[in-house]
Amino acid sequence: MTDPSPQAELIMAFANTLDVEDETDALADVPDLARWLAETGLTTSTPVVTAEDHQRCLRFRSGVRELLGTEDRQAHLLAEADSVLRELPLLVSATAGSALQPAPELPAVSRAFGALAAALAVLLITGENERIKRCPAEDCGWVFWDNSKNRSRRWCSMRVCGNRNKARSFASRNRRSPEADR
Ligand SMILES: [Zn+2]
Protein backbone atom coordinates (compact mmCIF):
# COMPACT_ATOMS: atom_id res chain seq x y z
CA MET A 1 0.00 0.00 0.00
CA THR A 2 1.28 3.41 -0.93
CA ASP A 3 -0.11 6.57 0.56
CA PRO A 4 -0.32 9.76 -1.45
CA SER A 5 2.39 12.36 -0.89
CA PRO A 6 1.39 15.87 0.23
CA GLN A 7 1.83 16.96 -3.40
CA ALA A 8 -0.57 14.23 -4.56
CA GLU A 9 -3.09 15.23 -1.87
CA LEU A 10 -2.89 18.84 -3.02
CA ILE A 11 -3.35 18.07 -6.72
CA MET A 12 -6.27 15.71 -6.02
CA ALA A 13 -7.93 18.36 -3.83
CA PHE A 14 -7.43 20.92 -6.60
CA ALA A 15 -8.85 18.61 -9.29
CA ASN A 16 -11.82 17.65 -7.10
CA THR A 17 -12.87 21.24 -6.46
CA LEU A 18 -15.11 20.38 -9.41
CA ASP A 19 -17.67 17.76 -8.41
CA VAL A 20 -19.45 16.52 -11.52
CA GLU A 21 -21.82 14.21 -9.66
CA ASP A 22 -23.02 16.85 -7.18
CA GLU A 23 -22.81 19.58 -9.85
CA THR A 24 -20.85 21.80 -7.50
CA ASP A 25 -17.69 23.80 -8.08
CA ALA A 26 -15.73 25.07 -5.10
CA LEU A 27 -13.98 27.47 -7.50
CA ALA A 28 -17.15 28.67 -9.24
CA ASP A 29 -16.34 32.38 -8.99
CA VAL A 30 -13.66 34.86 -7.92
CA PRO A 31 -14.53 34.94 -4.18
CA ASP A 32 -14.66 31.12 -4.13
CA LEU A 33 -11.13 30.94 -5.51
CA ALA A 34 -9.86 33.52 -3.00
CA ARG A 35 -11.40 31.51 -0.17
CA TRP A 36 -10.03 28.19 -1.44
CA LEU A 37 -6.49 29.53 -1.79
CA ALA A 38 -6.54 30.79 1.80
CA GLU A 39 -8.20 27.65 3.18
CA THR A 40 -5.66 25.33 1.59
CA GLY A 41 -2.81 27.52 2.86
CA LEU A 42 -1.58 28.33 -0.65
CA THR A 43 -1.82 31.98 0.38
CA THR A 44 -1.24 33.26 3.91
CA SER A 45 -4.43 35.33 3.90
CA THR A 46 -7.42 35.78 1.59
CA PRO A 47 -5.81 37.17 -1.57
CA VAL A 48 -7.11 39.70 -4.08
CA VAL A 49 -8.13 37.57 -7.05
CA THR A 50 -8.90 39.06 -10.46
CA ALA A 51 -11.31 37.68 -13.06
CA GLU A 52 -8.24 36.88 -15.15
CA ASP A 53 -6.70 34.90 -12.27
CA HIS A 54 -9.94 32.97 -12.00
CA GLN A 55 -9.93 32.15 -15.71
CA ARG A 56 -6.29 31.07 -15.54
CA CYS A 57 -7.07 28.83 -12.61
CA LEU A 58 -9.98 27.12 -14.40
CA ARG A 59 -7.87 26.54 -17.52
CA PHE A 60 -5.13 25.07 -15.35
CA ARG A 61 -7.61 22.84 -13.51
CA SER A 62 -9.19 21.58 -16.76
CA GLY A 63 -5.74 20.61 -17.98
CA VAL A 64 -4.86 18.87 -14.71
CA ARG A 65 -8.14 16.92 -14.76
CA GLU A 66 -7.49 15.98 -18.38
CA LEU A 67 -3.97 14.85 -17.57
CA LEU A 68 -5.23 12.60 -14.78
CA GLY A 69 -7.82 10.94 -17.01
CA THR A 70 -6.70 7.64 -18.46
CA GLU A 71 -8.52 7.70 -21.78
CA ASP A 72 -8.84 10.09 -24.76
CA ARG A 73 -7.01 13.08 -23.38
CA GLN A 74 -8.02 16.24 -25.18
CA ALA A 75 -4.89 17.93 -26.47
CA HIS A 76 -6.35 21.44 -26.51
CA LEU A 77 -7.13 21.29 -22.77
CA LEU A 78 -3.58 20.17 -22.02
CA ALA A 79 -2.21 22.94 -24.27
CA GLU A 80 -4.29 25.56 -22.46
CA ALA A 81 -2.92 24.38 -19.13
CA ASP A 82 0.58 24.62 -20.60
CA SER A 83 -0.05 28.23 -21.59
CA VAL A 84 -0.94 28.98 -17.94
CA LEU A 85 2.11 27.06 -16.69
CA ARG A 86 4.44 29.00 -18.98
CA GLU A 87 3.74 32.12 -16.90
CA LEU A 88 4.56 30.40 -13.61
CA PRO A 89 8.34 30.18 -13.32
CA LEU A 90 9.66 27.65 -10.81
CA LEU A 91 12.93 27.76 -8.95
CA VAL A 92 15.15 24.92 -7.76
CA SER A 93 16.34 25.65 -4.24
CA ALA A 94 19.02 23.99 -2.13
CA THR A 95 17.92 25.71 1.07
CA ALA A 96 14.12 26.03 0.98
CA GLY A 97 11.92 23.36 2.55
CA SER A 98 11.04 21.82 -0.80
CA ALA A 99 13.42 21.69 -3.75
CA LEU A 100 10.99 23.13 -6.29
CA GLN A 101 9.52 26.54 -5.45
CA PRO A 102 7.42 29.11 -7.25
CA ALA A 103 9.60 32.10 -8.17
CA PRO A 104 9.51 34.45 -5.14
CA GLU A 105 8.93 37.59 -7.21
CA LEU A 106 5.52 36.39 -8.39
CA PRO A 107 2.43 38.10 -6.95
CA ALA A 108 0.58 36.11 -4.24
CA VAL A 109 -2.04 34.46 -6.46
CA SER A 110 0.49 33.48 -9.13
CA ARG A 111 2.77 32.15 -6.40
CA ALA A 112 -0.11 29.98 -5.19
CA PHE A 113 -0.66 28.69 -8.74
CA GLY A 114 3.12 28.17 -8.93
CA ALA A 115 2.93 26.00 -5.80
CA LEU A 116 0.30 23.88 -7.56
CA ALA A 117 2.54 23.71 -10.63
CA ALA A 118 5.49 22.63 -8.46
CA ALA A 119 3.36 19.89 -6.86
CA LEU A 120 2.28 18.69 -10.29
CA ALA A 121 5.89 18.68 -11.51
CA VAL A 122 6.94 16.50 -8.56
CA LEU A 123 4.20 13.98 -9.36
CA LEU A 124 5.19 13.82 -13.02
CA ILE A 125 8.87 13.40 -12.14
CA THR A 126 8.32 10.69 -9.52
CA GLY A 127 5.62 8.95 -11.58
CA GLU A 128 3.22 9.24 -8.68
CA ASN A 129 0.68 10.74 -11.11
CA GLU A 130 0.11 7.19 -12.39
CA ARG A 131 -1.66 6.41 -9.13
CA ILE A 132 -3.94 9.41 -9.47
CA LYS A 133 -6.86 8.74 -11.79
CA ARG A 134 -10.01 10.42 -12.94
CA CYS A 135 -13.07 8.17 -12.92
CA PRO A 136 -14.26 7.59 -16.51
CA ALA A 137 -17.97 7.58 -15.55
CA GLU A 138 -19.38 10.65 -17.32
CA ASP A 139 -21.56 11.63 -14.37
CA CYS A 140 -18.71 11.15 -11.91
CA GLY A 141 -15.22 12.23 -12.99
CA TRP A 142 -13.96 12.00 -9.41
CA VAL A 143 -10.18 12.06 -9.06
CA PHE A 144 -8.96 9.31 -6.75
CA TRP A 145 -5.86 7.58 -5.46
CA ASP A 146 -5.35 4.10 -6.91
CA ASN A 147 -3.57 2.06 -4.22
CA SER A 148 -4.04 -1.29 -5.97
CA LYS A 149 -0.87 -3.35 -6.33
CA ASN A 150 -0.63 -3.03 -10.12
CA ARG A 151 -2.36 0.37 -10.44
CA SER A 152 -5.24 -1.30 -12.25
CA ARG A 153 -8.18 0.47 -10.68
CA ARG A 154 -10.34 2.23 -13.22
CA TRP A 155 -13.49 3.41 -11.46
CA CYS A 156 -13.38 5.75 -8.48
CA SER A 157 -14.87 3.18 -6.12
CA MET A 158 -15.68 -0.43 -6.75
CA ARG A 159 -18.56 -0.02 -4.30
CA VAL A 160 -20.17 2.89 -6.10
CA CYS A 161 -19.03 3.55 -9.68
CA GLY A 162 -17.66 0.05 -10.30
CA ASN A 163 -20.89 -1.65 -9.28
CA ARG A 164 -23.01 1.04 -10.84
CA ASN A 165 -21.28 0.46 -14.16
CA LYS A 166 -21.64 -3.31 -13.88
CA ALA A 167 -25.35 -2.86 -13.10
CA ARG A 168 -25.73 -0.65 -16.14
CA SER A 169 -24.23 -3.14 -18.58
CA PHE A 170 -26.25 -5.89 -16.93
CA ALA A 171 -29.43 -3.84 -17.44
CA SER A 172 -28.68 -3.23 -21.11
CA ARG A 173 -28.04 -6.92 -21.64
CA ASN A 174 -31.28 -7.86 -19.87
CA ARG A 175 -33.84 -5.47 -21.25
CA ARG A 176 -36.71 -7.12 -19.44
CA SER A 177 -35.12 -7.03 -16.02
CA PRO A 178 -36.99 -5.00 -13.37
CA GLU A 179 -33.94 -2.71 -13.09
CA ALA A 180 -34.25 -1.63 -16.68
CA ASP A 181 -38.04 -1.15 -16.55
CA ARG A 182 -37.89 1.39 -13.76
ZN1 LIG B 1 -16.72 7.39 -10.23
Q: How far is the CA of 18 from the centre of ligand 1 (A)?
A: 13
101-122: average pLDDT: 96
Whether residue 176 is predicted with pLDDT greater than 60 in this model: the reply is no
> Higher-confidence residue: 97 or 54?
54
For the chain, percent of residues with pLDDT exceeding 70: 93
Task: Please compute the mean of the pLDDT values over residues 122-135 and round it to a whole number.
Answer: 95
Q: Quick one: pLDDT at residue 157? A: 82
Ligand 1 centroid from CA 87, angstroms: 33
Lowest mean pLDDT among 32-41, 92-101, 128-137: 92-101
Q: 30-55 pLDDT, tens per residue?
A: 999 999 999 999 999 999 999 999 99
Question: Average pLDDT, stretch 107-112?
Answer: 97
CA angle, residues 23, 27, 33, in degrees to nearest 5 = 165
Residue 175 pLDDT grade (very low, low, confident, very high; cuts 50, 70, 90): low
- The per-residue pLDDT for range 144-157, each reduced to its tens digit, is 999 988 988 888 88
Render pLDDT for 52-77 as a digit per residue (tens, 0 to 9). Answer: 999 999 999 999 999 999 888 999 99
CA–centroid distance, 23 to ligand 1, in Å, is 14
Residue 133 dihedral angles phi and psi, to the nearest 5°: -130, 155
Say what the pLDDT of residue 98 is: 81
Average pLDDT (23-33) is: 97
**Is residue 18 predicted with pLDDT exceeding 70?**
yes
Calculate how far, in angstroms, residue 180's C-alpha sits from the geometric centre of ligand 1: 21
Query: Which CA distances in Å does 180 have to 35, 137, 160, 174, 175?
Result: 44, 19, 18, 8, 6
Q: Give the CA count within 13 Å in the CB-facing half-sphere of 116.
A: 28
State the Cα–Cα distance between residues 36 and 42, nearest whole angstrom. 8
Beta-carbon neighbours within 5 Å of ion ligand 1: 135, 137, 140, 142, 156, 161
